Amino acid sequence: MTEIAVTGAAGRMGREVLAAAADREAIEVAFAVNRSPVDELISGVVIESSDNFAELLAEYEPDVVVDFTGPESALAYADACVEHGVALVTGTTGFDDDGLDALRAAAESTAVLKASNFSRGVAALRLAVQEATAALPDADIELTETHHNAKRDAPSGTAKTLLDDIEGVRDDLSERVHGREGEAPRSADEIGVHARRAGDIAGEHEVLLGGSNETLSLTHRAGDRSIFADGALDAAEWLAGREPGWYDFFEVIDDA
């Protein structure tokens, strides 16, 4: 049995994580917190104030904290995890370089698994994009991500991960061009990046590789957020009891 604590419990993802946890025999929710007060039970769980997070960690000693919040709060939760020796699974996106460094520093003292996307389909997309990028070394590459109208960070964390993957294969691509307007044609060393926000779209990512007389388009569409919650809980079960370190969602998938 893996005992988890859930942060951001009343958020879109927090609710999904609690719903998914209620369906899993191997997972027990030790406690859940939210910044704003919540009067209702969510999936049968009482929601505590995030102001009491450190005290709750000390009292319940869960195996893993599952976090989908914002970069600032995720780093505060990571500090508390380090202090109490609790592992952290975070799907939070939007970290700047200092934030990522701080998270990596936390991983020196406790087990941290961060993924910008906990869907297995996106994991497969990443591998396909790396292969296609290598196979079409002269292609122009444009990345488009589409999300619901309440998403804060742009481009998405997944888009940034895909860009890192592409640049890992193509070292001639040195410029990320966000949106495009004006008169100049695109140059060969750029990757176009486009972020769209509309309605309640759970998350779409398309990588377009354009060559002479042919294009290849690789697209992932999330049907709903349960895929992210399921992946995060798989990660929590896998991470429980691991040594301090920085872990990757591919390690979870490879062990499944």
Ligand X SMILES: O=C(O)C1=N[C@H](C(=O)O)C[C@H](O)C1
User: Which partner from the list ligand X, ligand NDP, none does 226 bind, CB cut-off 5 to 8 Å by kind?
Assistant: none
User: Which partner from the list ligand X, ligand NDP, none does 95 bind, CB cut-off 5 to 8 Å by kind?
Assistant: none
Binding site for ligand X (CB under 6 A): 93, 116-117, 147, 151, 156-158, 203
Choose between 31 and 68: whose C-beta lies nearer to ligand X.
68
User: Which partner from the list ligand NDP, ligand X, none does 167 bind, CB cut-off 5 to 8 Å by kind?
Assistant: none
Q: How far is the CB of 252 from ligand NDP (least distance, A)?
A: 12
Choose between 110 and 205: whose C-beta lies nearer to ligand X.
205
CB 173 within 8 A of CB 191: yes
Nearest Cα to Cα of residue 90 among 101, 79, 74, 76: 74
211 in a labelled binding site: no
Q: Which residues lie across from 147 on neighbouring strands?
A: 197
The dihedral over CA atoms of 235, 238, 239, 242, expressed in degrees to the nearest 10, equals: -160
Question: What six digits make up the tokens of 148?
Answer: 């619901």
Q: Could you tell me how many residues make up the chain? A: 256
Give CA–CA dist 39/118, Å, rounded: 29
User: Which partner from the list ligand NDP, ligand X, none does 62 bind, CB cut-off 5 to 8 Å by kind?
Assistant: none
Residue with tokens 């079409």: 136
1 in a labelled binding site: no
Choose between 73 and 109: whose C-beta lies nearer to ligand NDP.
73
202 in a labelled binding site: no
118 in a labelled binding site: yes
Q: How far is the CB of 202 from ligand X (least distance, A)?
A: 6
Q: How far is the CB of 158 from ligand NDP (least distance, A)?
A: 8
The 3-class secondary structure across 144-183, one letter per residue, is: EEEECCCCCCCCCHHHHHHHHHHHHHCCCCCEEEECCCCC
Give CA–CA dist 231/90, Å, rounded: 11
Residue nearest to ligand NDP (CB): 11
Question: What six digits make up the tokens of 7?
Answer: 């942060």
Contacts of residue 85, defined as CB under 8 A and 6 or more positions apart, other chains included, come to 110
User: Which partner from the list ligand X, ligand NDP, none does 72 bind, CB cut-off 5 to 8 Å by kind?
Assistant: ligand NDP
Active-site residue, 147 included? yes
Contacts of residue 196, defined as CB under 8 A and 6 or more positions apart, other chains included, come to 144, 145, 146, 147
Choose between 121 and 210: whose C-beta lies nearer to ligand X.
121
Choose between 127 and 135: whose C-beta lies nearer to ligand NDP.
127
Edge to edge, the sheet with strand 215-221 lists: 175-178, 190-197, 140-147, 204-210, 215-221
Binding site for ligand NDP (CB under 6 A): 8, 10-14, 34-36, 50, 68-70, 72-73, 91-94, 115-118, 153, 157, 228
Q: Given 147, 160, 205, 220, which residue is catalytic?
A: 147
| Residue numbers annotated as active site | 147, 151
